[in-house]
Structure 1
Amino acid sequence: MPSPWPLLLDDPATGLDVADREQLIDRLEVLGLTRLEPASVLVNRHLEELPPGTTHAMLLRDGRCLVAGRVGEILAGLQASACFDHPVRFTQVDGWWSVRTRRPAPAE
C-alpha cells in the first residue's frame, strides 16, 4: 500500500439522515487528524458535507477540471458560479462551508 494510504469516497452521505451525515463527517474529520492521515478524495455535490480541515478542492464541469487549488481560494472565486452556471456565494463558519444563491435585490 502507498503511504499515506488513499481513501476514496463518492457521495458517502447519500441517503443518510442529518444525524448520520453529521456522524460520518465527524468521523472523516477525526480520521484526517490521526497520525496516519490518509490521502482522501471526496466526490461531493453538497458543500455542507465537506469535513472541516478540507484543504483543496477541484470544480468539475462537463467532466473536465474547471479549477483546482486551495479550497478557500476556489470557493471564493468567480469560477464557482461559472461551474454551476448560476450565481452562488460560499461562506465558511467554524470550518463548515455552505452555499447560497445570489439573488438580485428586490425591486421597490
Structure 2
Amino acid sequence: MSHVTLRRGQNVLLDDVSWHVEEGQRWIVMGPNGAGKSTLINIAATRAHPTKGNVAILGEVLGAVDVFDLRPSIGLSSTLLAQQVPGGETLKNLVVTAAYGVTGRWREAYEPEDLQRAEQLLARWGIAGYADRKFRTLSEGERKRALIARAMMTDPELLILDEPAAGLDLAGRETLVRSLTQLASDPFAPTPILVTHHVEEIPPNFTHAMLLREGQVIAAGPLETALTEETLSEAFRLPLNVSRNAEGRFSAFART
C-alpha cells in the first residue's frame, strides 16, 4: 500500500497509510478499537478499495484486476464470514466450499481432491472428528480453527486472520497460538497477517508488526522495533510495561 486513504462520508478510516509486506514475513496488526485495522485488512483482502493511493497485491494492482480472480490466492478468516455461514452447514462443507468462494453448499460439484484436502485441513487444525458436525454446534475455539482451515482451502499465498482469538478462553487461546506458531514456522505456509488487540496472542515466531491509531500508522517494521513500550503506549494512549519472555511471548500491563 502506498499513501492509502479511505473515507466514508466525513469519516477518515485510513489516513495516508503505506505498508509493504514481503513473502516469508509474518505480520501482526494491532491497535485500539476504531484504529482502522478492519478497514486495512478489507483492502488487503480485496473487499474494499481506497479513496486515494495505490495498492498492489500479489503482483496485481487493485482497480486494474478482477478481484474475483485474485481472491482465491487470499485466505480470509473473520467474524463477518462466520456470521454468513448457514446454520446447518457441516464443517466439511464449510471448508470445501471455499474452493468456489461461497458459504453454503448447494449443487456445486467437487473433485475428490477437493474433498480430500478439506479433510486434511480439518485434521491439521485438530477438528477432523467434527467433519460432519454443524458449524453452529461447535465451541468458539473449534469454530475459529474451522474458519482458518477454510481460509487455507485454496492454498493461498496470503492468509489474513482477523482477531481469531476473540472470545476464546485461556485454553482455547493457547491452543490457537500454538497452532499459529506451527503454521508460521512452515516455510511453505502462506504469508500470514494476524489482527489482534492483545500482545499475549502474538505467536513467538512472527516477525513484523504494524500499530494503528485513528487510521494512522504509529509504527511498522520488524517486531523488535515496531512493538515496544513506547509504540504500544502511544497506540493505546496508556503508559504500558511490555515484556517478552525467553519463549518469545509478549505481555503488557498498565504502569502504576
* 2:222 corresponds to 1:97: no
What 5-or-longer segments of structure 1 have no aligned partner?
Answer: 104-108
Q: Counterpart in 2 of 1:65?
A: 217
Task: Give per-residue Cα distances to partners, 1:72-92, cap 9 Å, x unaligned.
Answer: 212225222111111112100
Q: Which amino acid aligns with 1:101?
A: A
> How many angstroms apart in 1 are the aligned matches of 2:232 and 2:198?
13
**In structure 2, distance between residues paired with 1:83 and 1:36:** 33
Rate the CA distance shift 1:40–1:95 in 2: closer, same or farther, 3 A: same
Q: Which residue does the alignment assign to 1:85?
A: 237
Q: Is the 8 A contact 1:4 1:36 kept in 2?
A: no
Deviation track 1:33-81 (CA, whole Å, cap 9, x = no partner) reads 1231321111100110000111111110012211111112122252221
Structure 2, unmatched stretches of 5+, are 1-72, 75-154
| Separation in 2, partners of 1:51, 1:87 | 23
Check whether the contact 2:159–2:191 (CA below 8 A) recurs between aligned residues.
yes
Q: Distance in 1 between matches of 2:229 and 2:242?
A: 9
Aligned to 1:106: none
Paired with 1:81 and 1:35, the residues of 2 have a C-alpha distance of: 33
Aligned residues with identical type, % of pairs: 39
Report 1 or 2 for greater relative contact order, CA contacts < 8 Å, sequence distance ≥ 6.
2
Match of 2:162 among 4, 7, 10: 10
How many positions carry a matched residue from both structures? 103
The correspondence for 2:199, drawn from 19, 40, 47, is: 47
The alignment partner of 1:19 has SS state of helix
Contact 2:161/2:195 (8 A) holds in 1: yes
Q: RMSD in angstroms over aligned alpha carbons?
A: 1.8
In the alignment, the residues of structure 1 paired with residue 173 and residue 197 of structure 2 have an alpha-carbon distance, to the nearest angstrom, of 14
Whole-Å separation in 2 of the counterparts to 1:22 and 1:5: 25
By percentage of residues, which structure has more helix?
A: 2
TM-score normalized by structure 2?
0.38
Larger C-alpha radius of gyration, 1 or 2?
2
- The Cα of 1:4 is off from its aligned counterpart by 7.1
Letter in 2 for 1:97: F
Q: Deviations over 1:12-51 (max 9, x none)?
A: 0111111111111111110111231321111100110000
